[in-house]
Structure 1
Amino acid sequence: MLKKIICFLSGLPMTIVAGGFLLLDLVPHLIEEFGNTTLHLNVLPFDPAWVTIVISGIPLLYLALWRIIYNLGISKISSALLITIAMFAAIAIGDLFAAGEVAFIMAIGALLEETTTNRAKKGLKNLISLAPTKGRRLRNGKEEMISAEEIRQGDVLRILPGESIPVDGTIVSGETSVDQSIMTGESLPIDKGKGEEVFCGTINCFGSIDIVATKVGENSSLQRLIRMVKEAENKQAPMQRIADRVASWLVPVALLIAVLAYVFTGNIVTAVTVLVVFCPCALVLATPTAIMAAIGQATKHGVIIKSGEALEKMGKVDTIAFDKTGTLTYGRLDVSDILSFDESISETDILAFAASAEAKSEHPLGKAIVTYAKVKEVPLVESAAFRMTTGKGVFAEVDNHNLFCGNEKFLAENGVSIDGQVQSVLRWFRTQGKASILIAEGKKCIGVIALSDVLRPEAKDMVFSLSAMHTRTVLLTGDHKQTADYFAQQVGISEVRAELLPEEKVLSIEKLQAENHKVCMIGDGVNDAPALKTADVSVAMGSMGSDIAIDAAEVALMSEDLSKIPYLKRLSNATVKTIKFSIALSMCINFVAIVLSLMQLLNPTTGALVHNAGSCFVVLIAALLYDRKFE
């Protein structure tokens, strides 16, 4: 019941009422002072400031007492306590307007903070509002509408155009375009077909699709996203904890100075003014408002920051370490080169021979060649005979051609000679980090197909942007050194550490930290989780990264767009600068106000205006982070 009353009094409607009565009290004060008259203009049987004191002062008193009772240690002494003391001191000397003004402007500051926080939480509210409540399950050939809680893994669901997808799943029939903006920040719908994944909360734009549920309830991507954002709100940044501690010891210092001011001046008004202007409210507001605004800004752009601490530390990072596969690259093999060593055989023929021979293969390289041939609409021929030698290659009879597809050793074992030209081509492909499949007909090598991981197109610009911010980049990968060097050269990373086991990645990060570097690790795989935990700040590629990597990381990118990394760095830098500027501004305002109070140039009324104006400035400066452009 008491909390309801406090919430009612501190809400916007009652705060407006409090402001109205304070204004009624202010007008007579101004007329009397500037009009040089003693005419009493108050038509009420009581001083209107009392209404303001009751409405805005009771929540302030409640907060001060609550912190004394429930907070631990020095944190019992809070800024609310100092303002409450100042309010009662002003009442004691008969300056009801000053008492009401202190309480009212503190209420305004609290409303501004709440507004900023609510705006920052807009992304989370959008996520929660998008959580579907129902799904259309197919069972025994019939459709039935059920609640989202009833959907189980393995259920087949039908999603009609315009509907939200209720769970994570895989399309089993139909084609459509899906609006994934809430998950990835991508502005355009993504085309989806059979076998592709869809995510909970995203919107089916066009065609009807059937999906099989893979992650349901709390395990869905949307619910996981909501949990991560909630975690971010419950964690404080180190600067915020420091500000809280500073606020605690400033209170006794303020009381001491106020007592000394009274002792030396003999003027109780001066002592009360010191209490009013000394409150560190702006200092306390500086960090949480900036952190929440920045987290809200990041959520809009598909970057989930799990804690204010991670955001602050990211602003101090000077070294970013990248995994290669799945981070700088897409993590999938694709055909990059097709060469024919026989002028009578075209490159298309080489691809057709290899894809037809590999059609029954389970090897990833073989599957990649077959997939590429299908994309290029190259016709495949059913093999009459097929034999696979594990780790080496395959033999197949295709349209009366005896074909061998595999590595050098496999071809040599089957009597195929590898001449100097072929050896030179293979060495060239190895320097580029590419895997090679040789194709031979009978005893003659007729061609080669090279496959490579695909570099993300935005990777080079991302590294350039980080370099422009004086941020060092390092590649940490388990790949062969030649492969690592090739991809690092393509994106502009000069420092490469290759052929690393997971524990060696951890050692590499610890070595960088020992050199007094603040390190951010970016990865996506299970093997990256230890390194992510070791780094000062960790970022996971959320849309395709493993669950373990996402859980280990403090920041998750909900799209595969690496340009979000420079954005994150700029946002973090701006947040840290905003916090430092706000703290410096608040302390300067407090210092000047204290000096003016001791010089008796400020009274409780004007002192409250000066001090609380600083608090409002701090909150408004933080609010600007939410809509600032960092792209």
Structure 2
Amino acid sequence: MLKKISDLFAGPAMTIVSGGFLVLSLMFLFTGKGFLFNPAWITIALSGYPLTYLAITRLVYEKWISSALLISIAMAASIAIGELFAAGEVAFIMSIGAILEEKTVERSKRGLKQLISLTPMMGRRILSDPSGIQEEIIPVEQIKEGDILRILPGETIPVDGEIAEGNTSIDQSIITGESLPVDKSVGDQVFCGTINRFGSIEIVTARVGEDSSLQKLIRMVQEAENKKAPMQRIADKWAAWLVPVALGISVAAFGITWALGNEIMEALNRAVTVLVVFCPCALALATPTSIMAAIGQATKHGIIIKSGEALENMGKVDCIAFDKTGTLTNGNLVVTDVVPLNEEVGKEQLLSLAASAEAYSEHPLAKAIVAHAKELQIAIGPADNFQMMPGKGISATISGQTLLCGTVKFLKEYQIPMNELVYIKLNEFRTQGKAIILVAKEGSLIGVITLSDTLRDTAHSVVSELHGMDTQVVLLTGDHMQAAGYFAKQIGISTVRAELLPEDKVSSIAELKKQGKRVCMIGDGVNDAPALKLADVGVAMGSMGSDIAIEAADIALTGDDISMIPYLKRLSNATVRTIKFNITVSMTINFIAILLSVTGVLNPVTGALVHNAGSVLVVLNAALLYDRKFT
């Protein structure tokens, strides 16, 4: 009941009502007009109760001497000598600070639920009995290690395992972040939560339940979330010595004033005034008001900052780790090279033949080839006898001639000859991280078509600008080392860690943090979620990133514009500087006000007004962040 009352009174609506009555009290104080009772009593009740409740619960249950305790003491002392406006003023200012801080630390928790929802619920188990092979659909909880499961095209793999029969292509971006489906055949590993794109396969179960890759991913997100400490007010961090110092100066002011022959009421006034001006209200407002203004500034540029802690930490970041696919690259496959290997076939004809054959395929590489041909307005003819060999390639008949499109291994099965120059060329393409489609016609190799993800136009300038800000840049990706190294070299990243599973990315982040780095992780995939959580700051690509990555991150770029990263760093740096400046100003004002209180220049009411002026100054300075230019 007491907690519910505290929560009700601490809300924005009651705080507004509290402020209204405080204004009335000030008007009556200046005009000298009386009233049935001082309206400041309402302010004390509405804003003072939550403050007192917080101070007592922290002191009794958490053994925590907080700034709320000092303000409660000042409020009680002011009431004791009849200075109700001063009591109401300090309570109201702290209520405003609490509301502003609460707005800056609200964090969404939906991401983990979405990650859990990706877990497959059923599996197709293969049983052998005297009557023949049978299938049964069973809950994933009933699948045991060693069971044989059949996975049809389009189905999600429910366990970790090894392919025992069949060939296919697996979309395992949820685990590794790879931009392309990975061709798989007998003996290859498959992971829970990944999607079987094409062929029907049978797998032998290796890891189930809590041991599966997806469940490990979920646990890593949970563990990383638990490692994130909540933001504490600076005033509360200092309260352990702030309270006794304030009480000591207040008692000393009372004793010295009385000892010098002043009346006891004058001595009490000075003691209470010290407590009022000592209250760290401006100090408490320094952080949340600056953060609120900076968050508003960032929102205008399409950046959603979920917490004040993230903004503060971003200002301290000295190492930024990028995912590759969908972050530094556009995440879309495009044809990069069309290379004829036969003098009788030109580029257009090679592309026309390949597009005509691939037009019947649903593979992402095939779709990219067909889209490229259409974009160049190259004719796509009819094809007959289309056949797809999952994980290998396709065959089709065009104008009575057999055409093969696929991997080196696929063409070798058809005994298509390839000379050493072809292998040299293919190796060159592989070092550039490109996917390769070989095209053969009537038993002869006629050309190569390569596809690749493309770098964002701003990637190089962003990395260069971050280097200029003394920020280390690291590439963390699930792609092969050759592809990662090629892209990293183009944009100027020297530190590359490739072929990483989600746990490897987490380990890399943890290793960087052990080296004393403040790390920001930028990614877009489900596989990035644990690393985003563990990093000091996680930044997700908002429009093309997965919902889980966005929810796991502290900051989201709604426009996927990575050129906003340097802007975000400058904004965060300015916010940290503003917070430090506000703290310095508030403490300076408090120090001067304490001297004036001890010497009797200020009384509880004028002290409260000076105290209020300091709070207003801090808020106004913080508000300047909203319109400053950082781009």
Q: Same fold (TM over 0.5)?
A: yes
In structure 2, distance between residues paired with 1:610 and 1:288: 21
Q: Which has the higher contact order (CA 8 A, sep 6+)?
A: 2
The one-letter amino acid paired with 1:67 is L
1:256 aligns with 2:248: yes
In the aligned structure 1, how far is the partner of 2:547 from the partner of 2:294? 25
| Residue in 2 that maps onto 1:22 | 29
| 1:81 matched to 2:68 | no
SS of structure 2 residue aligned to 1:338: strand
Query: Which residue of 1 is the match for residue 593 of structure 2?
Result: 593
**CA shift digits 1:568-610 (9 cap, x unpaired):** 3233222222222222221122122223333444444443333
**Does structure 2 retain, via aligned residues, the 8 Å contact 1:320–1:522?**
yes
**Is the 8 Å Cα contact of residues 10 and 107 (structure 1) preserved in structure 2?**
no
Residues 153-194 of structure 1: CA deviation (Å, up to 9, x unaligned): xxxxxxxxxxxxxxxxxxxxxxxxxxxxxxxxxxxxxxxxxx
Over 3 Å counting, the alpha-carbon distance change for 1:599 and 1:262 in structure 2 is same
- Aligned pair in 2 of structure 1 residues 560, 23: CA closer, same or farther (>3 Å)? same
Give the aligned partner of residue 279 of structure 2: 279
1:452-601 map, 5 Å: 452-601=452-601
Between the aligned partners of 1:264 and 1:11, the Cα distance in structure 2 is 36
Q: Is residue 53 of structure 2 the alignment partner of residue 66 of structure 1?
A: yes
Deviation at 1:314, TM superposition (A): 2.2
Structure 1 residues 529 and 111: alpha-carbon distance in aligned structure 2, compared to 1, 3 A threshold: closer
Q: Are positions 1:238 and 2:231 aligned together?
A: yes
CA spacing shift, 1:286–1:492, aligned 2, 3 Å:
same
Q: Could you list the per-position Cα deviations for residues 41-89 of structure 1 after superposition, in whole angstroms to 9, with x for gaps in the alignment?
A: xxx5x4x897464464554543444335555543484354144135335
Contact 1:70–1:76 (Cα < 8 Å) also in 2: no
| TM-superposed deviation, 1:451 | 0.4
Instruction: Give the letter aligned to residue 505 of structure 1.
Output: K
SS of residue matched to 1:416: coil
Please list the CA deviations of residues 300-324 of structure 1 after superposition, one character each: whole Å capped at 9, or x if unmatched.
4433333332332222221111111
Q: Which amino acid aligns with 1:466?
A: L
> Is the CA contact 1:324–1:476 (under 8 Å) kept in the aligned structure 2?
yes
CA, structure 1 residues 9+344, in 2 after alignment: closer, same or farther (shift >3 Å)? closer
SS in structure 2 of the partner of residue 321 of structure 1: strand
Number of aligned positions between the proteins:
494
Partner of 2:328: 328
Provide the C-alpha distance between the structure 1 equivalents of 2:36 and 2:251, rounded to a whole number of angstroms.
26
Q: 1:533 to 1:111 in 2, by over 3 A?
A: closer
- Mapped partners of 1:532, 1:8: distance in 2: 36
Displacement, 1:271?
2.2
RMSD: 3.6
State the 1:345 CA deviation: 3.3
> What is the Cα deviation at residue 517 of structure 1?
1.0
Corresponding position: 1:422 with 2:422: yes
Q: Which runs of 5+ in 1 are unaligned?
A: 26-43, 125-231
Contact residue 396 and residue 404 of structure 1 kept, 8 A? yes
Q: Distance in 2 between matches of 1:556 and 1:9?
A: 32
Q: Check 1:56–1:540 CA distance in 2 against 1; reply closer, same or farther (3 A cut).
A: same
Check 1:625–1:238 CA distance in 2 against 1; reply closer, same or farther (3 A cut): same
Q: Deviations over 1:323-349 (max 9, x none)?
A: 111221122311112223345533222
**Residue aligning to 2:187:** none
**How many angstroms apart in 2 are the aligned matches of 1:18 and 1:87?**
15
Provide closer, same or farther for how the CA distance between residues 236 and 511 of structure 1 changes in structure 2, counting only shifts above 3 A: closer
Q: Cα gap change, 1:462/1:441 in structure 2, threshold over 3 Å: closer, same or farther?
A: same
Give the letter aligned to residue 341 of structure 1: L
Aligned-partner Cα distance in 1 for 2:81–2:421: 94
Alignment of 1:388-427 (within 5 A): 388-427=388-427
2:373 aligned with 1:386: no
Rounded to whole Å, the distance in 2 between the matches of 1:256 and 1:11 is 31
1:199-348, aligned counterparts within 5 Å? 237-240=230-233, 242-247=234-239, 249-266=241-258, 267=262, 268=267, 269-348=269-348
Q: How does 1:171-186 map to 2 (within 5 A)?
A: none
Deviations 1:546-585 (A, max 9, x none): 3333343333333322123223323322222222222222
SS in 1 for 2:453: strand
Query: Which residue type is aligned with residue 257 of structure 2?
Result: T
In the TM superposition, residue 437 of structure 1 has moved relative to its aligned partner by 1.5
Task: Kindly state the Cα deviation for residue 243 of structure 1 after the two structures are TM-superposed.
Answer: 2.1
Change (3 A) 1:249 1:20: same
Contact 1:82 1:251 in 2 (8 A): no
Deviations 1:514-560 (A, max 9, x none): 11111122222222233223322222223232333334333333332
One-letter amino acid of the structure 2 residue matched with residue 608 of structure 1: A
Q: Which amino acid aligns with 1:610?
A: V
Aligned-residue offset at 1:508: 1.7
The 8 Å contact of residues 327 and 522 in structure 1, kept in 2 or not, is answered as yes
Deviation at 1:15, TM superposition (A): 4.3
Deviation at 1:287, TM superposition (A): 2.0
Task: Give TM-score, length-normalised by structure 2.
Answer: 0.69
Report the CA distance shift for 1:507/1:15 in structure 2 as closer, same or farther (over 3 A): same
Question: Cα 1:298–1:86, aligned 2, differ >3 Å: closer, same or farther?
Answer: farther
Per-residue deviation, 1:453: 0.8
Stretches (4+) displaced over 6 A: 1-6, 114-121
**Partner SS state of residue 238, structure 1:** coil
Question: Relative to structure 1, is the Cα distance of residues 342 and 68 closer, same or farther in structure 2, using a 3 angstrom cutoff?
Answer: closer
2:14: which partner in 1? 7
Q: Secondary structure at the match of 1:331?
A: coil
- CA 1:420–1:354: 2 relative to 1, 3 Å: same
Unaligned runs of 5+ in 2: 109-224
Tell me the amino acid that sits aligned with residue 250 of structure 1: L
Q: 1:14 to 1:236 in 2, by over 3 A?
A: farther
Amino acid aligned to 2:31: L
Partner amino acid, structure 1, of 2:359: A
Alpha carbons 1:326, 1:524 under 8 Å: kept: yes
Paired with 2:463 and 2:287, the residues of 1 have a C-alpha distance of 30
C-alpha distance in 2, partners of 1:301/1:52?
Answer: 43
Deviation at 1:398, TM superposition (A): 0.9
Q: Using the alignment, how far apart are the partners of 1:529 and 1:595 within structure 2?
A: 52
Residue identity in the other structure for 1:276: V
Q: Could you tell me how far 1:416 is from its partner in structure 2? A: 3.3
| Contact 2:21-2:39 within 8 A present in 1 as well | no
Q: Distance in 1 between matches of 2:596 and 2:36?
A: 25
Instruction: Percent identity, please.
Output: 53
Secondary structure in 2 aligned to 1:332?
A: coil
- Structure 1 residue 626, shift from structure 2 partner: 3.3
How far apart are 1:352 and its partner, in Å? 0.8
Code of the aligned partner of 1:238? M
Q: Is the contact between residue 431 and residue 482 of structure 1 (CA under 8 Å) also seen in structure 2?
A: yes
DSSP-derived class of the 2:484 partner:
helix
Partner letter of residue 72 of structure 2? L
Map 1:585-624 onto structure 2 (within 5 A). Answer: 585-624=585-624
- The one-letter code sitting in structure 1 at the alignment partner of 2:54 is R
Distance between the aligned counterparts of 2:67 and 2:532, measured in 1?
37
